[in-house]
Structure 1
C-alpha cells in the first residue's frame, strides 16, 4: 500500500440513471475503500459527450447519497478537464501519430478482434499517412511483438494474474477520436494519477483496458494502481446489464433490497440486514474478511 494511504474511486458515465449493474461496481469500490481505512472519490466520466444525458450526473450523485455513499472529495468531471488530457498527449510526443483509417478499413484488415470486440489495428498509418489520406484519429504506438514492454502483466485482486500482448491482441490504440473527443484510455489514466488513486475497483468489462492503461502510465511516469475487477450483472439474454439494453433506475423506495442484490453478486451475505445501517455493517465485515489484506 502506498505511504499516502488508500484512495479509491467510482467513475460512472452519465448516460442515464444509476442502475443495478452500476451499483455492483459502486458498492465494491466503496467497501474496498472503507475496509482499508481509505478515501472514496466520485468521478463523472462524461468525456464522451455524445452519450451524456442532461441531469444524469446529478441524479447519480443523489442516488449514491440516498444509499449512504458520499464522495470524500470534490466530484471530478471529465468534460471540464480537456486541457489536462491535451497536456498528457503532448508529453507522449512521437509515441502518438495521426491515423487516417476508418473503422471499416480496420475491420477489413482481418487481423482479428481484441477480447473487448474491437478490431485489432494493423499499423497501417504507423509510417505516415498515405497520399490522399487525412488524419481521423490520434493513436499511441505500442511496442512491436518481441520488444520490451509488449507483454503487460498485472495481478488482479479478484481474478489473479493477468497478461496481454499489446501488439498482437490490441495494436496501436486511439487516444483522440475522429469526433475530436479524448478517448477513455487517456482520460482515465490522467484522472487516476491526478486524483492520487491507489486502487481501482471496477467491473470486469474493463479488464481488457487495463494493460493499455498500465502501458500509458509507464510512458507518462505515473504510478500503477492496484486493480480489482468484479463480476458483471447479466440480463436474461446473457448480456451485460446496462442502460443500452434497457436497465432501469434503482428503486430507492427499497434501498436495502437494492444493496443486497448487488452484495449477493459479490458473494457477500447480507440477508440478515433489515436497515441500511445493518446492511453496511454486514457488508463491510464480509468484504474485509475477503479483501482487506489483499
Structure 2
C-alpha cells in the first residue's frame, strides 16, 4: 500500500479576490504554502475555478464560463453561515482518508445513530478520475449530526501509482442549504508524506552573508496563542568535503538558538544564519553544493520523512 497521507481542514468556501495591481502568487505557489485550492486568491480581474483534476486556476470570466460549459472545471460556490461542514483527520499509513461531515439535515432519528447511504451525496476523484467511495457514513453518536466517513485510496489510477501532490477531490452534494437550495461542498487535497517545507531568502548562497532560513512546519505549531520554537540541532548541514554538522554549530552565527515562529499560529519558523568559510577545519568553497536536512518525525502517517533544502555556494 502507498504510505502517502493527507490532512486538511474543510471550512466554509469563500470566493476571494485582491486588488487588480496587487502582487499575487500563482495558484501552485499558494498551494505549496499550504493554501487549499478553494481558498486560492486571484486578482480582481480573474475568477477562481477548480479543474476536474482538483487543481485551481485563475482565469478570465469568459474562459471560466467556457470551461464550466465543457464540464472541465467548476467554480467554488460562495457559502454563507451554515450548519454544514466537512473536516478531515490524518489518514492512516495504509492510505485511508478519515473525515467527518456535519449536516444536521441528516439527523432525523435524534435518539438513535443514523447510517446514511453515500450514493448521491458523496463523490470522490483523483487526477480527474472518479474513484469508488464507501457505501455508508455513520453518525458519531445519538443526535450529533456529525457523520464519519472512511475513504480507502486506490494503489493506482489507470495503472499509474499515486504520487506526491496528486489531488484527491471530495464533493459533498448538499441537498438543502440554509435557503433550501442545493449546493456542492468541495475540497481538493494534495497527497503528501510531510507538510514541512523549507526555503531561504536574502543571500543564502554567499559565504559570510546573513540570510533567513525558514520552514513551514504545522506539526511544531503546538501553541496557537504564542510563538513556538524548533531547535537548530534539528537541522543537519551537509556540504562537500565531508562536512556534517547541524545549524546549532556556532560557526553559522545564528541570531537565535532556535527557529522561532513568525507569529502565533503561523506554523512558519525562521532564523538568520551565515554560511561560514570553514567548519571544523574543513573549508567551504565557492561553487560547492550544500544541503540542509530536516527530519519530520510527526507526520500523519507516523513515518519519518526527510525534507531537504539544496543550495550552491555563490
Q: Taking structure 1 as the reference length, what is the TM-score of the superposition? A: 0.25
Higher helix fraction: Structure 1 or Structure 2? 1
Higher strand fraction: Structure 1 or Structure 2? 2
Q: Taking structure 2 as the reference length, what is the TM-score of the superposition? A: 0.24
Larger radius of gyration: 2
